[in-house]
Amino acid sequence: MELTIARHCVAEGPDGLSPLQHALLRDEHPIRVADAPTGAGKSYAFQRALLDQDARILFIVPTRRLAQNLAGALVQELIEAGWPQPRAARAVALWSSDQTLALREAGVINISGHRLRQMQELTPHAGHGEMIIAVPEVVSGLLIRRRVQAGSDGVGVFDLLNDFDHIVFDEFHTIEERGFGLAAVFARLLTVERDDGVRGYGGAKLSFLSATPLDLSESFKQISVPENQVSVLQEELVVDGRPLHGDVALSLEDEPTLSALMLKHLPAIAAELQRGRQVVAIFDSVANLERELTALVRKLAAGGIDLSRVLVINSIRDSVARGLTDAGLAFGRKQNPHNFGLILATASVEMGVTFRRANFMLMEPGLEPMNLLQRYG
């Protein structure tokens, strides 16, 4: 069975922003809930806030792989926009477990204190925008400390609401309980009716982004967030405008394993790699990927695939910085996926991670319908 996902476009204003992107930066409601198709540029809107408005942004994402991808891409895009490399690197901070390990390797003992200093350095006189890209666990851990460390007392959730122009939860439909609790605290404090008659604490705008329509009205009601403090935003698709993608062929094929599907299309995979493009394969689980890996690698090599150009991404392999399998396949959290041709991955790459040179993807359908939606999106 084969079907075509038709070419999609969004409207584009004179500033290069779509109506949704413009609303994310200009809407005056303290809380914005936005959904738009994958590739519509929800994250890019806040990059423009950094560049055009000198905004300070706390950008919270569900996975460390997505955080790593966004941070690396943002630094590169700031350089391409004309920023000197040192300035671009200083403007982007990464808060994840990977970065925690890197800081420890660099000799930083007090990780929380280091991050608090990063946050406190986001001052109104910095002269340019900054962005911290974080996973929810790190932000929660920073705010919920069992003991106060020297030099860090008095810093908490109110400082976040005051020090940032935007606090953003990306891929919010995937958020877990701890991350939602953090979002609920932000939403409540930004909209509560204070004793002095002023609405809310802090000046941050709180945005929830998703490629899937979100209905948070009941959740907001339960935490007493007034309906008139929330703006629900959607991106409108148009016939002519900025293309999100061209026509995409989606083929559903019956094969016992993803490895079997890859071997069926091995000539097409090899042709894509020879053109300098990337090919991405997404397995439903670490178990599926690791179980099929050894036999798959032998057949890839026999089919002319250069194994040194293959990267394996999953939660177990990413527990080390860098490594090579016995067959010579690369893995590890510090490997840059853009340096490889064939990516063998699990669901850790299905949310928001961009492979700009990829034109061909093979995937298992996912354990839930949402997995399929994320992957083909």
Q: Are 59 and 136 contacting, i.e. CB atoms less than 8 angstroms apart? A: no
Domain final residue, candidates 205, 238, 271: 238
Say yes or no: 191 and 263 in one domain: no
Asked whether the predicted pLDDT for residue 59 surpasses 90, the reply is yes
Region for 107 from its dihedrals, namely left if φ exceeds 0, alpha if ψ lies in -120 to 50, beta otherwise: left
Q: What confidence tens digit (pLDDT) does each residue in 227-237 have?
A: 999 999 988 88
Domain final residue, candidates 238, 261, 286: 238
Say yes or no: 365 and 335 in one domain: yes
Q: What confidence tens digit (pLDDT) does each residue in 179-223 have?
A: 688 899 999 999 998 878 788 998 899 999 987 777 899 999 999
Say yes or no: 234 and 337 in one domain: no
Q: Between these two residues, 82 and 111, which has the higher pLDDT value?
A: 82
Rounded CA gap, 147 and 157, in Å? 16
Say yes or no: 29 and 139 in one domain: yes
- Asked if residue 1 belongs to a domain, the reply is no
- Asked if residue 42 belongs to a domain, the reply is yes
- Asked if residue 244 belongs to a domain, the reply is no
What is the pLDDT averaged over residues 46-69?
88
Say yes or no: 51 and 190 in one domain: yes
Structural domain total, the chain: 2
Question: What pLDDT was estimated at residue 248?
Answer: 86
Asked whether the predicted pLDDT for residue 149 surpasses 70, the reply is no
Range of the domain at 293: 253-376
Say yes or no: 222 and 351 in one domain: no
Asked whether the predicted pLDDT for residue 357 surpasses 60, the reply is yes
Question: What pLDDT was estimated at residue 291?
Answer: 92
Q: Are 341 and 306 contacting, i.e. CB atoms less than 8 angstroms apart? A: yes
- Asked if residue 352 belongs to a domain, the reply is yes
Q: What confidence tens digit (pLDDT) does each residue in 162-181 have?
A: 889 999 999 887 776 666 88
Q: Between these two residues, 135 and 214, which has the higher pLDDT value?
A: 135
Question: What pLDDT was estimated at residue 224?
Answer: 93
Question: What pLDDT was estimated at residue 102?
Answer: 56
pTM of the model: 0.76
- Asked if residue 33 belongs to a domain, the reply is yes
Domain final residue, candidates 238, 265, 291: 238
CATH number of the structural domain spanning residue 97: 3.40.50.300
Question: What pLDDT was estimated at residue 123?
Answer: 46
Say yes or no: 35 and 152 in one domain: yes
- Pick the closest to residue 40 from 28, 62, 63, 23 (CA basis): 23
Q: Give Cα 361 to chain centroid, integer Å.
A: 19
For 18, the token pair is 């779509």
Share of the chain above pLDDT 70, in %: 85
Say yes or no: 167 and 33 in one domain: yes
Rounded CA gap, 210 and 173, in Å? 6
| C-alpha triplet 338, 357, 80: angle, nearest 5° | 70
Please say whether the dihedral angle defined by the alpha carbons of residues 332, 335, 338 and 340, taken in this order, is positive or negative: negative
pLDDT band for 330, please (50, 70, 90 cuts).
very high
Share of the chain above pLDDT 90, in %: 37
- Asked if residue 247 belongs to a domain, the reply is no
pLDDT band for 110, please (50, 70, 90 cuts).
low
Ranking 15-29, 249-263, 349-363 by mean pLDDT, the lowest is 349-363
Rounded CA gap, 234 and 178, in Å? 26
Say yes or no: 150 and 74 in one domain: yes
- Asked if residue 2 belongs to a domain, the reply is no
Region for 82 from its dihedrals, namely left if φ exceeds 0, alpha if ψ lies in -120 to 50, beta otherwise: left
Question: What pLDDT was estimated at residue 244?
Answer: 80
Question: What pLDDT was estimated at residue 62?
Answer: 84
Say yes or no: 58 and 134 in one domain: yes
- Pick the closest to residue 164 from 55, 89, 91, 28 (CA basis): 55
Say yes or no: 85 and 211 in one domain: yes
Q: What confidence tens digit (pLDDT) does each residue in 314-325 have?
A: 888 877 778 888
pLDDT band for 376, please (50, 70, 90 cuts).
confident
Q: In terms of C-beta density within 10 A (0-12 exposed, 13-18 middle, 19 or more buried), how is residue 318 classed?
A: buried
Asked whether the predicted pLDDT for residue 125 surpasses 60, the reply is no
| Most trustworthy range by pLDDT among 60-74, 132-146, 299-313 | 299-313
Q: Are 375 and 281 contacting, i.e. CB atoms less than 8 angstroms apart? A: no
Say yes or no: 179 and 261 in one domain: no
- Asked if residue 103 belongs to a domain, the reply is yes
* Long-range CB pairs of 99-105, under 8 A, 24+ apart, other chains included: 100/138, 101/321
For 155, the token pair is 């810093």
How high does pLDDT run on average in the chain? 83
* 3-class SS letters over the chain: CEEEECCEEECCCCCCCCHHHHHHHHCCCCEEEEECCCCCCHHHHHHHHHHHHCCEEEEECCCHHHHHHHHHHHHHHHHHCCCCHHHHHHHEEEECHHHHHHHHHCCCCCHHHHHHHHHHCCCCCCCCCEEEEECHHHHHHHHCCCCCCCCCCCCCHHHHHHHCCEEEECCHHHCCHHHHHHHHHHHHHHHCECCCCCECCCCCEEEEEECCCCCCHHHHHHCCCCHHHEEEEECCEECCCEEEECCEEEECCCCCCHHHHHHHCHHHHHHHHHCCCEEEEECCCHHHHHHHHHHHHHHHHHCCCCHHHEEEECCCHHHCCCEECCCCCEECCCCCHHHCCEEEECHHHCCCCCCCCEEEEEECCCCCHHHHHHHHC
Asked whether the predicted pLDDT for residue 47 surpasses 70, the reply is yes
Rounded CA gap, 244 and 269, in Å? 24
Asked whether the predicted pLDDT for residue 104 surpasses 70, the reply is no
CATH number of the structural domain spanning residue 330: 3.40.50
What is the pLDDT averaged over residues 347-374?
78
